[in-house]
Amino acid sequence: MRRWGDLSQDTDDHLTAGSVLDHAEMAVVVTDRFSNVLYWNPFAEQLFGRVGAPTGKESLLSLGIMEKDHPLAVDLAKHVLRGGVWEGTFDVVRGDGTMIYVRAQAVPLRHPSGSVTGIVITAREAMRSNEREKDRFGLLERIGERLAGSLYVEETLNRVAEMLVPQFADHCFIELVEGDRLIRKVSTHVHGWTPPPDSWQPVGGEIRYPPGHYADIAIRRQETILVEDFSQVSYPAPSEGAARVCGEIGMTSAIVAPLCVRGETLGLMYLGMSNLTDRRSPHYDTFDRDFVGAIATRVALAVDNALLFEEERHTAESFQKNLLPRQPLPSLDGLEIAVRYYPAAPLASHGQGIQTQVGGDWYDVIPLSAGRVGIVIGDVEGRGAKAAAVMGQLRAALRAFAQDDKPPADILARLDEWTRIVAAPEHDDFGADITNPPIVTCQYMVYDAWSRQLSFANAGHAPPLLIVDGNVTELDITEVGQPLGVRAKGVHADLVYKEETRTLPPGATLLLYTDGLVDRRPPRDAEGAPPSDDETLGVLFEKLAKVSNEPVERIADMATVAVPGEIDDDMAILVVRSAGSELEVEERTFPAQPIMVSEARRMAAEAFAAWRVPEERAELACLLVSEVVTNVVLHAASASVPRRELVFDGPPLPFDESWDVPGFEEEIAGDKEFMLRLRRGGESIWVEVFDQDLRLPRIRSAGENDEGGRGLYLVDQLARRWGSRPTREGKAVWFEIPIGGR
């Protein structure tokens, strides 16, 4: 006979450990020492959204712990396996894609001998138990951490909605004030449901809450409003469609919290519950109201920071954009060009992402004389508006220096001096100058598309990449000078920067870049040591080789994504490709004699006719050829005669007659020559006249009765552009005539 209090056999069977855990309304998970899941109870299946018993091959991370919390899971295992107790909160993505916060406690699983053989974890959904007050502070801290990691308004608001739906709400709206309007920025709902058309306003729509609406009250009072049960109260609806959808889904409760910071209302956050989900309590209470109000405070700060950051970023990027060449770049004969500029991605942990946005990287393409092109890539050390301002001054100075058409080494020497000038003056306590010029690397090239000759000088910059017939290599640069601004005093710039010349094959491609292309921030999931510079270049070479025959725009796009990781420094890319076919050119050398003017004009007329230049344009070009050649011949005849020793048979001549020797001037003038070079581009004719006279021409005013002095004036008035440049043998005078019109 059983005594009172004895358990029946049936009841005793239900008190086994397995039966108790099956009925427990708390998740229980057991792992071995290697964090492989050995057991989870039915409530754990429901909480984590997993189906079926574990096989022993699932890791603890397979429960859906978000990647950012993986270090927490590792700490949990290490701490508990040493015999400790761990407690904390995880962000978990369930099997259906929804996210919840899970509060977990882990203790050691011990063998009868006392050794730790595994881990026992108990878990529950945070804020949905009797320990809500305990969970509140931990969750607020984690929400603050997630919001602090965002520097963009859209990203910040989406993170808020992701955190609150479906764990705390079935519906989340966030609206921000823009001017005098309230604009909806977020409309997030429980998984699988979207508002029907003509009901709730979509993202981007203007929201107008009627007077007396609880959201209107929240904004006016700047306080969090709780509607605990819609069946007990009545508020005016924003629209008939909104009222209709609320009835269809059975809205039960809502909380509206204004987003206020420094006394200003930025917008509001709306959370609502409905019959779309099955919850233990379909109504919010005062605890929920206070908690959501605390969340709204953090959201408002995050939104305010993001708005300030985006405003500063927009200002800085606009500043940088206007310092770089205008887009699109001009069309240049014999070249295909593609450019890219990307500011650095901000580091969220910096708190002042604007400092990592813009920098001193720049590129430029400068039209020079007779179709030649100046090609520039440069990088000013440092980041922020100061580096961008220095860059703007250097770019403007280089463009001005380049118009002198001097060799690249001379241009870099002048730019080096200018780099010292733009530095802010500094003095020590004794008045000595301790100014530190900015450190600048720069590559300046001059390319002649008709001869395919590339002349360049380098100031400490990475060599361009040369892509020829699918092979990618670095351009061979023998003389790499020091960066601008670091040359030691007393060392002349001519000793630092040297000019080199290469001839590009037809269809060759050059890729000039700044170090932001290869110096990337490693991906967050990267394992092991970061790749070396050689390994990074190897990856870049391999990927560029695959697109070497594609358009330059495609090559530029590939270069920007070839190296994995975020852009840790701003990046400028300039891709240029030489023409695959020869450009049309004619040139001939003439004696510097007056009779040769007509010969030069005849040569020009024949060339223009062969190139099918419109008759009107050809006649104008021939006229200017005559003027320039005549100017060269006249100056050749009047050039100073070098000293020479004369020997005569007979008595010496008087001084005033000693130079009046028949045939002497003709002999001297006959030694001089000029060369006429004609080039046809896609839209222009280029004419160059070379001679041995070092004097550069200038326009002078001619009197009413003067017979000459108007040649260069005509060139200046009738040509699109004209100029002169020194050469090794003398000078070149050039002008440009458009084919289609002035």
Sheet (strand 465-468) strand order? 335-342, 571-578, 509-513, 465-468, 471-474
Residue with tokens 């708190």: 351
For position 641, what pLDDT does the model report? 44
DSSP string of 150-164? --SHHHHHHHHHHHH
Distance, CA of 609 to CA of 614 (rounded, Å)? 8
Distance, CA of 447 to CA of 90 (rounded, Å)? 60
For position 258, what pLDDT does the model report? 94
Torsional class of 35: left (φ above 0), alpha (ψ -120 to 50), beta (otherwise)? left
Burial of residue 42 (number of CB atoms within 10 Å: 0-12, 13-18, 19+): middle
Question: Do 289 and 277 contact (CB within 8 A), yes or no?
Answer: no
Ranges of residues in the chain with a pLDDT under 50 are 1, 7-9, 11-12, 129-131, 348-356, 641-648, 653, 655-661, 663-669, 705-707
Residue ranges of alpha helices (H) inside 408-514 are 408-422
Q: Please, what's the b/e burial string for 581-616 (b: 16 or more CB within 10 A of its CB; e: otherwise)?
A: eebeebeeebebbeebbeebbebbbebbeeeebeee
Reading the block at residue 192, the tokens are 């699988």
- Which residue, 723, 735, 739, is CA-closest to 618? 739
Reported as a single tens digit per residue, the pLDDT across 662-682 is 544 444 445 789 999 999 998
394 phi and psi, to 5 degrees?
A: -70, -40
Distance, CA of 730 to CA of 727 (rounded, Å)? 5
For position 652, what pLDDT does the model report? 54
Q: Are strands 453-459 and 480-481 parallel, antiparallel or unpaired?
A: parallel
Is the entire prediction scored with pTM above 0.85?
Answer: no
For position 708, what pLDDT does the model report? 53
For position 464, what pLDDT does the model report? 96
Question: Do 697 and 737 contact (CB within 8 A), yes or no?
Answer: no
Distance, CA of 486 to CA of 489 (rounded, Å)? 9
For position 643, what pLDDT does the model report? 41
Enumerate residues 6+ apart whose C-beta is below 8 A from 495. Answer: none
- Which residue, 103, 447, 152, 431, is CA-closest to 313? 152
For position 6, what pLDDT does the model report? 52
For position 523, what pLDDT does the model report? 63
DSSP string of 386-400? HHHHHHHHHHHHHHH
DSSP 8-state code for residue 193: -
Distance, CA of 622 to CA of 605 (rounded, Å)? 6
For position 578, what pLDDT does the model report? 93
Question: Per DSSP, which regions of 477-608 are E strands?
Answer: 480-481, 500-503, 509-513, 520-521, 566-567, 571-578, 585-591
